Amino acid sequence: MTLWHALSHEGFGRMASWLWPRHEPRGLLKVEGRTHLSVPLVAARASCGFPSPADDYLDQPLDFNELIIENPAATFAVRVSGDSMVGAGIFPGDIAVVNRAKTPSDRCIVVALLNGEFTIKRYRQRGTRIWLEADNPAFTDIEITEHSCFEVWGVISRCVRLL
C-alpha cells in the first residue's frame, strides 16, 4: 500500500477519482509520535554573537514529539521543493509538519491540492475571496475560483531543516 493510499484511507484526503492514482504525491512522510525519547535540554541559552558563560545545570528533558507534533492522529510531513516560500523561512529540502486538524485562517501557511498538484503557500481570505500567496516576490498570487479544483490538506505548524 502506498503512502497516498494509506493517508487517504486514514481520512487524509478526499480525492476525486480522476486524480487517482496518476497524481500520486511524492515526498509525503508518515509521522509517528509513538516513541517517547527525550534529550537533555540545557537551561542556558547559546549565544550566536559573543560567547557567554555556560550554566552548570540542565532543564527538564525535551521530547521532540511534544515539540513538533501537536496532534499525532492528524499530522503528516512533506518534504519541501521549490523556493516560493523562502521569505517565510521554508526552503527546498525542509520537512514541513502539517496538521490536518487545524482550520486554515488568513495568512497561515498551508499544504493545498490545486488542480491536481500539491503546493505550499500562504492562505489568504477576504470575505468569500480566497487566494494563495507565495513568500517570494518572483511568484504571483494564485486566485482560487469556482473553476479551481482546490482542497486544503492541512496547516503547516512546524518546519524542520537538516543541516
The catalytic site residues sit at 84, 121
124, 110 contact by CB (below 8 A): no
> What is the Cα–Cα distance from 127 to 120, expressed in whole angstroms?
22
Q: What's the per-residue H, E or C state across the chain?
A: CCHHHHHHHCCCCCCCHHHCCCCCCCCEEECCCCCCCEECCECCCCCCCCCCCCCCCECCCEEHHHHHCCCHHHEEEEECCCCCCHHHCCCCCCEEEEECCCCCCCCCEEEEEECCEEEEEEEEEECCEEEEECCCCCCCCEEECCCCCEEEEEEEEEEECCC
Q: In the Cβ-directed half-sphere of 130, how many Cα atoms lie within 13 Å? A: 18
